[in-house]
């Protein structure tokens, strides 16, 4: 008669990867991304009717309904932190540490914390002369945008290190490349091609922001609903 062995207790139910807490958090991320998009559209439609093509999204925080965009910056920061928490829980369920994705985590933290700072230090419309809080807004936006673009790429390229994330690596990396392309166009347009930026700068910024949020939404949606829970992936 062979002795029976018992496995050590797990933080998750058998076969449940990601764990239930992480799945709920990923659902929350998806909901907040949708909320962000809705609030952005509402702010865009309200007076003073800023141009979505030529003017930055940050301009929506200036005016009688600017508080909507200010709230939206906070929403962006919250959904980013919630995403990082859910991802850490998913990795922990597989016996892996979030430190495996260290620089991707760091970049996304810059992106998320930057959103809170953008809410605290609004831009000016018109931006001449530039106020002290406008300068802070500009200085914060640059590393925050880079953090969002590089964070998606650095995280996606490490998805092979975790079985739960591995099926997403190809398409998540491809979409992350688009975030980098859009942020380069936005930065180059803003710093070097002033005439081009003045015509389509708002559009380029929204394409970049949309690509990062879409990346987070799709990764979260997969891990919340599409990932099979019948068997735990082999390590």
- The model's pLDDT over 94-110, given as tens digits with 9 standing for 90+, comes to 888 888 899 999 999 99
Query: What's the gap between Cα 64 and its chain centre?
Result: 27
Strands of 30-176, DSSP E: none
Q: What percent of the chain has pLDDT over 70?
A: 85
Q: What percent of the chain has pLDDT over 90?
A: 71
pLDDT by residue (tens digit) across 5-25?
444 444 444 445 789 999 999
Inform me whether the pLDDT recorded for 231 exceeds 50.
no
Looking at residues 157-175, what average pLDDT do you find? 94
Question: Confidence band (pLDDT; 50, 70, 90) for 160?
Answer: very high
Question: Confidence band (pLDDT; 50, 70, 90) for 192?
Answer: low
When comparing pLDDT for 206 and 191, which is higher? Answer: 206
Residue 10 is predicted with a pLDDT of 41
Residue 232 tokens read as 């735990």
Calculated CA dihedral for residues 121, 123, 128, 132, nearest 10 degrees: 10
Inform me whether the pLDDT recorded for 233 exceeds 80.
no
């Amino acid at each position: 008669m062979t002795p029976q062995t018992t496995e050590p207790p797990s933080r998750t139910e058998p076969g449940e990867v990601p764990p239930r807490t992480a799945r709920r958090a990923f659902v929350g991320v998806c909901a907040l991304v949708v909320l962000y998009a809705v609030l952005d559209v509402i702010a865009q439609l309200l007076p003073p009717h800023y141009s979505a093509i030529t003017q930055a999204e940050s301009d929506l925080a200036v005016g009688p309904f600017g508080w909507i965009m200010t709230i939206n910056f906070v929403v962006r920061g919250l959904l980013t932190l919630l995403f990082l928490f859910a991802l850490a829980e998913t990795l922990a369920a597989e016996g892996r540490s979030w430190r495996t994705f260290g620089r991707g985590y760091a970049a996304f933290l810059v992106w998320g914390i930057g959103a809170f700072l953008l809410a605290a230090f609004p831009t000016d419309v018109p931006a001449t002369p530039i106020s002290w809080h406008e300068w802070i807004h500009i200085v914060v936006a640059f590393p925050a945008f880079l953090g969002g673009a590089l964070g998606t790429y650095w995280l996606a390229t490490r998805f092979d290190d975790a079985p739960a994330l591995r099926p997403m690596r190809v398409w998540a990396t491809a979409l992350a490349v688009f975030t980098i392309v859009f942020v380069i166009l936005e930065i180059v347009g803003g710093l070097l091609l002033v005439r081009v930026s003045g015509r389509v700068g708002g559009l380029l910024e929204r394409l970049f922001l949309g690509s990062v949020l879409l990346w987070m939404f799709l990764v979260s949606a997969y891990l919340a609903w599409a990932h099979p829970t019948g068997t735990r992936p082999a390590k």
